[in-house]
Amino acid sequence: MSPFGIRLGAAMSHQGPVCVGIDPHRALLEAWGLPDTVEGLRRFSLTALEAFAGHAAAVKPQSAFFERFGSAGVAVLEEVLAGLREAGTVSLLDVKRGDIGSTMGAYAEAYLSDGSPLRADAVTVSPYLGFGSLDPALELARSTGRGVFVLAMTSNPEGAGVQHATWHDTTVAGEVIARTTRANAAAVDAGVLGDVGLVVGATVGGDIAELGLADDLAASAAPLLAPGFGAQGATVADVTRGFGAAAGQVLLATSRAVLQQGPDIRSLRVALRQAQDEAAALRG
């Protein structure tokens, strides 16, 4: 495969900078008239797969909502990931794994190795055991043409207590961004998106400005996965204003605002297209 950042950048240019989630939580299953069972999970997930595969720059299944059903739920997740591969749609598996040594290596093999049935084009990871703890995932992703998205500035209120804390002459978030920039050195030099992305909430534009991190984000070459667009209230204008020079790297993540239009496939696609039309302003 070509490098993940190149593939994602092409998909964002072609289909707009929107990543749509597949989040089969109990309330959405009920809203779709489906039972909160593995069969309901499968019907929900395959309907969303049919609606979104080939129509979005990236699709982001949330692993937890599959894992809660045990091995049968994980089997449905494998089916969804296989469907995205078959459609040629970038898959971003939201697992937020973070550990050390051989354990992190095992997580990396589960989601980023060529032979795993749970392999995705990219996964979310947590750096809060130290950025160096992510090395097994970064190295395997690099060797297989896949990517990782590192949590940097999340939108939950509790996140700021850790991410805004100072460490030496910078904040923790600033250090995560700096280490990501170094990991993306080749992409920085080439002027393309890197394979190491960052998760930066669409609602934290004020924090980005307060901490003076917009230029650092822009210089990182990182694709910026920005949850909070749509149902959580963030608008494209908020992102453009808050992310500044980095706005063109943003991949807006939306789930509930689109999924609540199901189970009709046409309605799901109309909602996705509306989000894509709104997001077009980020690309200038």
What pLDDT is stored for residue 233 in this prediction?
74
- Residue 149, both tokens: 């998205």
DSSP string of 124-156? EE--TT-GGGGHHHHHHHHHHT-EEEEEEE-SS
Give the whole-angstrom CA distance, residue 195 versus residue 123: 11
What pLDDT is stored for residue 228 in this prediction?
86
What residue ranges do the domains of the chain occupy? 4-283
The overall pTM is greater than 0.85: yes
What pLDDT is stored for residue 133 in this prediction?
98
What pLDDT is stored for residue 283 in this prediction?
72
Give the whole-angstrom CA distance, residue 135 versus residue 182: 13
Helix (H) or strand (E) holding 279: helix 265-279
**CA dihedral in degrees (103, 224, 269, 44; nearest 10)?**
20
Active site positions, annotated: 96
Residue 38, φ and ψ in degrees, nearest 5? -60, -40
- From first to last of its 284 residues, the chain has per-residue pLDDT tens of 799 999 999 999 999 999 999 999 999 999 999 999 999 999 999 999 999 999 999 999 999 999 999 999 999 999 999 999 999 999 999 999 999 999 999 999 999 999 999 999 999 999 999 999 999 999 999 999 999 999 999 989 899 999 999 988 999 999 999 999 999 999 999 999 999 999 999 999 999 999 999 999 999 999 999 998 876 678 888 899 999 999 999 999 999 999 999 999 999 999 999 999 999 988 76
Q: How far is CA 194 from CA 21, 101, 149, 203, in A?
A: 22, 24, 10, 23
Give the whole-angstrom CA distance, residue 69 versus residue 42: 11
What pLDDT is stored for residue 231 in this prediction?
64
Class of domain 4-283: alpha beta
